[in-house]
Amino acid sequence: MKKILVLIILVLLGACVGSNKSSAQQNPRERVSIDFDWKFSLGDIENASQEQFNDADWRHLDVPHDWSIEGEYNENNPAGIAGAYLPTGIGWYRKNIEIENLEKDDKYFVEFDGVYMNSDVYINGNHLGKRPYGYISFSYDLTPYLKEGTNKLAVRVDNSKSPSGRWYTGSGIYRHVWLTKTSTIYIPQWGTAITTSNISDSSADIKINGDIKNDAKKDQVVDVISIIYDATNIAIDSTKSTVQINKDGSFEQSITVNNPKLWSPDSPNMYNLKTKLLVNGILIDTYTTPFGIRSIELNIDKGFLLNGEPIKFKGLSNHHDAGPVGAAVPDDLLYSRLKLLKDMGCNALRTTHNPFSPEFYALCDTLGIMVMDEAFDGWFTKKAEYDYGIYFKEWWKRDLKDFVKRDRNHPSVVMWSVGNEVRGFKAEDQKEIVSYLKTIDSSRPVTQGRGHFAPYVDITGFNGHGEQKGVLEKFHKENPDKLIIGTEMTHTLQTRGVYRTKTWYRTKDNPAPWEKPADFKRFESKVYKIPDLTEKEVFPGITKKYQSSYDNSIVRIGVRDDWNRVEALDYYVGNFRWTGFDYLGESFGWPARTANFGIIDLAGFPKDHYYLYQSLWSDKPMVHMLPHWTHPGYEGVEIPVVVYTNCESAELFLNGKSLGEKNITSERQIVWQVPYKSGELKVVAKNNSKPVVEQIYNSAEIGTKVQLKADKVTVKPNKTDVIQIEVAIVDSKNVIVPEGDNFVEFEISGPAKLLGVENGDILDLAPHKVMSRKAFKGKCLLLIQSTDEGGEIEVKASSQGLQESVLSVLSK
């Protein structure tokens, strides 16, 4: 698994570096990470852009960095509900760029994958440019201002006007930074566009369009050689053409690949295109573009066709933050999160509501996850007080162009989305934005979250509104030639380890700040009702801020009903639930810091809904039951035991005695009412009456120790690898205590640093960058990262009254 990540990083580096092994000539292009050794200071600082400015007393750190997540939750922070009550503000970053052997024919570029937001970049005191949009990738040409030796790069980041989004945004240089060197004739950043067509088992046509920049300021004849490599790095085909360039030029080439290995979520086959530029036989650039071969077709009778076959989107919407690291998500952690979703059977993600990091798309390519790539939330009318709506008019074309050029070669990107619940838009706006996008890439369908008010998208996106009874059917009747995609369905709310046996509807039982319980009356008849599991609430007295982990806490439709709709309607091609992971912000009010929409909590621990989706989406036999089986004081009380499985039937056993076998039906869950008795609860799932897979819960006794489990035994001393440590409160037989809420303290020794702590409790406002955390529902998470030294990393966890635990991981 780790191999995939390493490969991706190499591909990303190689996306530009690439060495020409077959020839003695070195590729003049170099691309290096400049993530390490920055200086940082919070606040606006006069003259901090200047070369001679003294930053000796500034903090030393590496990027990706997010200063908001380092702060404290405070009700008075201007980010408010939207931004999870975390601090925002202005920050400055400075870094030395060492240039050796500066040649007159060298070009240098600094590339930012993302800076939130309103960045101003300077080199040696010279202003290079400004980018308001905090999610866009951008670069600057440093060449005119560089000198041999030390150069000063300075970045001012302004997220002081807050809230600048409807969710937690993070603040700072929260993605990677790169330095690229080329010669004066080169392929510019994102300068290639690859499209594939006429795809069959025996062949596929590959069309390559590329740009060439000529800063040599004289006419040139350039040979362009394009070579396609398969996933094992064997060159399988090539082509050559010659272009005459004056200022800037372009080229177009075609190659036919025989017996292509197509890209799909089940077989994410990738290829690399290496484009070499030569002048008078001398290699002047090699540019590598990873790509995949696959076809997309919208067919009103069959749905969304990938490589000619209908495929339903088993999708999730996610924001870009990742619990205790905020918006600065290490690649290693991003990989684990995507892998967790893939293991659930998820085949698609929506980048709500903005461009994600380049690494995200590269990982989706290799893991096999389709992406609905979303450019914006709103357009000309702002949705949060100081969001991108303020800059939209001036910037949207530039940002949309850069976004599409950056992501257009990823096979995982199967659809663009131009916006989400855009306020006050006119059909003409949609037409203009979609048409402009199509001038840059016309090879994919375009949609829009809740974009059904205008006809200029290829596939109609429905958000929560489409969850109501009859809405999709009505739209289909009126627009029989349009496919529908659930750009944001289903909305359910759940807190890990919390159970309620009576059904809750958000508007009625726990209204969001913008809802009135009385509104429920108006749309009650359109809600897909879920029967209560019991007549009287079995688990009363739980705070309203927590939601039930049975599939019975919904806004308008439950997961099971919605998935039944997806399967029943050919024109409904699947959906993107709201959301995969819990995200910071957009809570229902202080002191909650998230709204609990995720099926995985802020610590990355799956809630029961994760397994519900797995039972619907994955073919690998699985079974999961809920709730846990530790309910002291409930002896004799009937507790609904719910089972999710993708097998045909399941049999439940309490302390060895069968409570009967039941088949899975369109209810998509099996329920037993079980009078509580402590001991062992076991479920056995069967196919053809034969046991296939089982799960056992034991009742926990009193917690006696802290248990540590790391996701890896070794890391590399590379300052990037992350160790995720699950911390659990367990009894003497190592059974997790489901209500365990002990305060745990950590000590780390050896070559690792703290990245953050988290427990998934939406009401726990403890800071993340400290060496302690309270457990929530038996567990919390400790994240640490390797340094640049090797050696043994030792983590100790202790808690008053409990036996401590020690764990070691080797950095080598």
Q: In the numeric block, which tokens belong to residue 493?
A: 């709310």
Shortest Å, Cβ 450 to ligand GAL: 7
Strands, sheet with 296-299, edge to edge from the N-terminal-most edge strand: 296-299, 303-306, 309-310
Residues 766-805 that bind ligand GAL (CB under 6 A): none
CA dist., res. 744 & res. 740, Å (int): 11
Q: In the numeric block, which tokens belong to residue 521?
A: 């009356």
Shortest Å, Cβ 298 to ligand GAL: 23
Longest CA–CA span in the chain (Å) reads 89
Shortest Å, Cβ 421 to ligand GAL: 5
Shortest Å, Cβ 188 to ligand GAL: 34
Strands (E), 142-248: 149-159, 177-183, 185-186, 192-197, 203-214, 220-229, 235-245
**Site size for ligand GAL (CB under 6 A):** 10
Q: Point out the catalytic residue in the list 111, 359, 421, 651.
A: 421
Closer residue to ligand GAL in complex, CB, 515/794: 515
Single-letter residue type at 235: A
> Is beta strand 296-299 parallel, antiparallel or unpaired with respect to 303-306?
antiparallel
Shortest Å, Cβ 166 to ligand GAL: 6
Query: Which helix (H) or strand (E) segment is 109 a member of?
Result: strand 106-112
The residue sitting closest to ligand GAL, measured at its beta carbon, is 421
* 221 SS3 class: strand
Neighbours of 455 (CB within 10 A): 12
Residues 636-655 that bind ligand GAL (CB under 6 A): none
Shortest Å, Cβ 433 to ligand GAL: 18
Shortest Å, Cβ 576 to ligand GAL: 11
User: Is residue 598 involved in binding ligand GAL (CB under 6 A)?
Assistant: no
Please count the residues of the chain: 812
Closer residue to ligand GAL in complex, CB, 488/608: 488
Tell me the torsion sign for CA atoms 263, 209, 138, 384: negative
Closer residue to ligand GAL in complex, CB, 166/686: 166
Q: Is 488 a catalytic residue?
A: yes
Secondary structure (H, E, C), 599-660: CECCCCCECHHHHHHHHHHCCCCCEEEECCCCCCCCCCCEEEEEEEECCCEEEEEECCEEEE
Binding mask 363-402 for ligand GAL (x = CB under 6 A): ----------------------------------------
Closer residue to ligand GAL in complex, CB, 167/174: 167
Secondary structure (H, E, C), 247-288: CCEEEEEEEEEECCCCECCCCECCEEEEEEEEECCEEEEEEE
Tell me the torsion sign for CA atoms 111, 115, 121, 123: negative
Shortest Å, Cβ 624 to ligand GAL: 26
Which residue, among 236, 239, 288, 251, has the nearest Cα to 20 in the 3D structure? 288
CA dist., res. 699 & res. 185, Å (int): 69
Residues 148-187 that bind ligand GAL (CB under 6 A): 166
CA 636 to chain centre: 44
CA dist., res. 327 & res. 174, Å (int): 6
DSSP state of 158: E
Q: Is 421 a catalytic residue?
A: yes
Q: Point out the catalytic residue in the list 359, 488, 651, 758.
A: 488
Single-letter residue type at 510: N
Closer residue to ligand GAL in complex, CB, 318/412: 318
Q: Compute the C-alpha angle 20/25/29, nearest 5°.
A: 65
Q: In the numeric block, which tokens belong to residue 338?
A: 């995507």
Binding mask 565-584 for ligand GAL (x = CB under 6 A): -------------x------
Closer residue to ligand GAL in complex, CB, 122/578: 578
Binding mask 51-90 for ligand GAL (x = CB under 6 A): ----------------------------------------
Shortest Å, Cβ 337 to ligand GAL: 19
Closer residue to ligand GAL in complex, CB, 247/423: 423
CA dist., res. 460 & res. 452, Å (int): 6
Shortest Å, Cβ 215 to ligand GAL: 43
How many CA within 13 A on the CB side of residue 494?
A: 32
CA 5 to chain centre: 15
Residue 332, Ramachandran bin (φ over 0: left; ψ between -120 and 50: alpha; else beta)? alpha
Quick check: bond before 490 cis, omega within 30? yes
Shortest Å, Cβ 173 to ligand GAL: 25
CA distances from 310 to 227, 313, 572, 662 (A): 32, 10, 11, 32
Please pick, from the candidates 191, 411, 461, 464, the single residue that binds ligand GAL as defined by CB under 6 A: 464
Tell me the torsion sign for CA atoms 255, 259, 265, 268: negative
Shortest Å, Cβ 163 to ligand GAL: 13
Secondary structure (H, E, C), 191-208: CEEEEEECCCCCEEEEEE
User: Is residue 586 involved in binding ligand GAL (CB under 6 A)?
Assistant: yes
User: Is residue 420 involved in binding ligand GAL (CB under 6 A)?
Assistant: yes
Which residue, among 108, 98, 295, has the nearest Cα to 206 in the 3D structure? 295
Please pick, from the candidates 463, 575, 649, 799, the single residue that binds ligand GAL as defined by CB under 6 A: 463
Please pick, from the candidates 382, 491, 496, 624, the single residue that binds ligand GAL as defined by CB under 6 A: 491
CA dist., res. 471 & res. 461, Å (int): 12
Quick check: bond before 627 cis, omega within 30? yes
Shortest Å, Cβ 759 to ligand GAL: 23
List active site positions: 421, 488
Interface residue list for ligand GAL (CB under 6 A)? 166, 420-421, 449, 463-464, 488, 491, 578, 586
